[in-house]
Amino acid sequence: MELPISDLIIVAVSKLIDDSQVEPKREPTHYDLEVQIKKSGLIDADPKSQGQTVGKAKRIRATLNWAIENDALAGSKLIELILSQVRGVGGFRETSPNFVGKEQILNAISAFDSENYSLSEAGDIRPKILDTLKGKNLTNALKAYAQRAKKGSEDAALLSGTGKDLLEATAKHIIQTKFGNHPANANFPTLFGQAYAALEMATPETPKAPNEPAIKDYERALFQMATSINRVRNKEGTGHGKLCISSLSIDESHSIIESVGVIAEFLLNRLSESS
């Protein structure tokens, strides 16, 4: 995923690793940051590699400021690596000794929001407007949504209501990638069937072939699950992506959105394999 890089985001991201006013010092360490800077290909822009003695925040800010003018793609990669590193050491978890602080997280959320990216308080990030993405970038963005869906959510009922949108977006992306365009007003089973056809997967309507691979039955089962989720959403929803919460239990809602993640990820992996 190619994350945005801007002056606002550079400041916000550098604040996430700023521990100049706290003791003991938090992770990530300077060594951790050096590893990520090398991975992004920006070691020559790192002031520490030039012999300067600087704090963590100034180090990252200087490196990213160089990147925004000279190699934005590498800067984008470094931002992604830093967010992952901070998340990995518990920087977004309030009970962690490495917690970066509520204000710093909210500032980062606001900075990414200005670039149409959604950063959660848990440190997960994804684009807000999928329509602006194409090709591999859209595949990766949809995979990020699928992985988040597989983990469930505290707002499971709302996600269940919008779950069909993720499956629809996945199906349309597959059809667009394989055929060059997708139908504008097809109903959900037709749309999903076309995505399956594009990936040469078996639907429940596909006759069983002699000695066919066992995975074909799994493909059929995922298709049935997707259409059943669609029926639940249409019956229980308000028509605007939200569910009537009294109609579904929290456990049922969690199960639905996790299933959406499993289905979407399976199809997107097949798309990647076939490209």
Residues 185 and 266 in one domain: yes
Identify the domain containing residue 28 by its residue range: 7-128
Same domain, 206 and 116: no
Q: Is residue 2 part of a domain?
A: no
Query: In this model, does residue 240 exceed pLDDT 70?
Result: no
Residue 235's pLDDT is what? 63
Residue 133 placed within a domain = no
**Shared-domain flag, residues 244 and 176:** yes
Q: Which amino acid is at 46?
A: D
Residue 171: inside a domain: yes
**pLDDT value of residue 226:** 95
Instruction: Compute the mean pLDDT over every residue in the chain, rounded to the nearest whole number.
Output: 86
Q: What pLDDT, on the 0 to 100 scale, is given for residue 245?
A: 43
Helix (H, G, I), strand (E, B) or coil at 83: helix
Whether residue 31 is contained in a domain is answered as: yes
161 versus 146: which is more confidently predicted? 146
CA dist 56 → 34, 47, 86, 107, 109 (Å)? 10, 10, 13, 18, 20
State the pLDDT confidence band at 26, using cuts at 50, 70 and 90. very high
Token pair of 188 as six digits: 């959900």
Q: How far apart are CA 17 and CA 204, in angstroms?
A: 51
Q: How far is CA 76 from the centre of its chain?
A: 15
**What tokens does 108 get?**
């980062």
- What are the tens digits of pLDDT across the range 172-228? 999 999 998 877 778 999 999 999 999 999 999 999 999 999 999 999 999 999 999
Pairing status of strand 117-119 against strand 125-127: antiparallel
Q: Does residue 61 sit within a domain?
A: yes
Q: Which pLDDT does position 154 carry in this prediction? A: 40
Q: Which residue has the higher pLDDT, 100 or 239?
A: 100
Contact between 42 and 63 under an 8 Å Cβ cutoff? The reply is yes
pLDDT score for 242 = 43
Residue 225 lies in a domain: yes
Higher pLDDT, 93 or 133: 93
What's the structural domain count of the chain? 2
Please provide the distance, in angstroms rounded to a whole number, between the alpha carbons at the two ends of the chain.
18
- How would residue 132 be classed by pLDDT, with cut points 50, 70 and 90? low
pLDDT at residue 177, as a whole number: 93
CA dihedral 273, 176, 197, 219 (to 10 degrees): 50
Decide if pLDDT at 241 tops 50: no
Domain boundary among 128, 162, 187: 128
Q: In whole angstroms, what is the distance from residue 162 CA to residue 160 CA?
A: 5
SS3 126: strand
> What pLDDT, on the 0 to 100 scale, is given for residue 265?
93
Q: Give the up-direction half-sphere exposure of residue 231: CA atoms within 13 A in the CB hemisphere.
A: 7
Residues 108 and 223 in one domain: no
Same structural domain, 269 and 165? yes
Name the residue among 36, 34, 24 with its Cα closest to residue 54.
Answer: 34
Q: Summarize pLDDT for 55-104 with one digit per residue, the tens.
A: 999 999 999 999 999 999 999 999 999 999 999 999 999 999 999 999 99
Residues 151 and 206 occupy one common structural domain: yes
- Residue 142 falls within a domain, yes or no? no
Residue type present at position 263? I
Tell me if 115 sits within 8 A of 9, measured CB to CB.
yes
Q: What is the pTM of this model?
A: 0.58
Residue 255 falls inside a structural domain: yes
Residue 156: band (very low, low, confident or very high) from pLDDT cuts 50, 70, 90: very low
